[in-house]
Every structure is written in C-alpha cells, then in structure tokens.
Amino acid sequence: MKEPVKWERHCRRQQPALKGIIGLLLFAVLFAVLLAGCAATYEGRYSYDLGWRLGRVIAVENLANIAKRPSEECRPAPAEGQEMVTYVVISYQTALRRYRHRMAPLPANTSLRVGDAVYVNTNDCAADFPPVTRLF
C-alpha cells in the first residue's frame, strides 16, 4: 500500500521556488520604479534633465527683511531703490537630496505666497516660477 503524502514535507519542497518568483517580481518592480525616476518630466512640460525642480516658496519680502542668505541669488546688480523690490525665496532639493534656496525678484503679474508649490529652473535665473497644478 502506498504511503500518504505528508503535506508538511510537500510544502517545504515548494518554498524555494516560490521565494525565487517573489524575488524576481520584486526586482522587476524596483527596476521599473528606478527607470521611471530617471526620466522625470513634471506635468509633461518641465524636464528634470533641463534643470526643473519642485520647490516651495518660503519667503516673499523686500531685500532688507530677508533673514537668511540664500545659496543662490538671481538678482540684478545693486541699483538705487533696490531695497524696495519684492523678492521671493524658494527652497528646492538637489539630486543629492540637499536643500538649496534661490532668491529672485518676484516676477510681474505673479501672486506667489509663502507655502505655494512652484517649479524652479536651476539652470536659468531668468525663468519664471510656474505654479504646480498637480502633484503626482
């Protein structure tokens, strides 16, 4: 007479194959996420490769009231009456996950407020700060 199959022994034999499949699936998902992260384009218009980054407005004040000196200044050479010009300070992350701060004159016809999410072009000081209309 044939001995009945012991389920405990049968299940143990199947585990290594199942672990291999799960590991392969996890690797494929991780690879797809990394590949998608390298080709970031915000809203289909602002390419990461061209210098666009997500930023947040941390100050909108005149030059005399800005407390912390930013890491990047995009302002013209000093002129008379420049202390009355309104500046915007925007915080954004670099590729190394370090925070940078950019100060630039507040663009005309713009109503940026502290806390607004905007795009920053790290390669072009003259670029405006388009608002973020949708987050991922």
Compute the mean pLDDT over every residue in the chain, rounded to the nearest whole number: 76
pLDDT of residue 77: 62
**Between 10 and 127, whose confidence is greater?**
127
pLDDT digits (tens, 9 = 90+) for 83-125: 677 888 999 988 788 888 988 888 778 889 999 999 999 888 8
Report residue 15's pLDDT band, with 50, 70 and 90 as the boundaries. Answer: low
Helix residue ranges, H only, the chain = 7-38
Whether residue 5 has pLDDT greater than 60: no
pLDDT digits (tens, 9 = 90+) for 53-76: 999 999 888 877 777 677 777 766
Rounded CA separation 21/26 (Å): 9
Mean pLDDT confidence for 23-40: 68
CB of 62 closer than 8 Å to CB of 85 = yes
Domain coordinates of the chain in residue numbers?
Answer: 1-39, 45-121
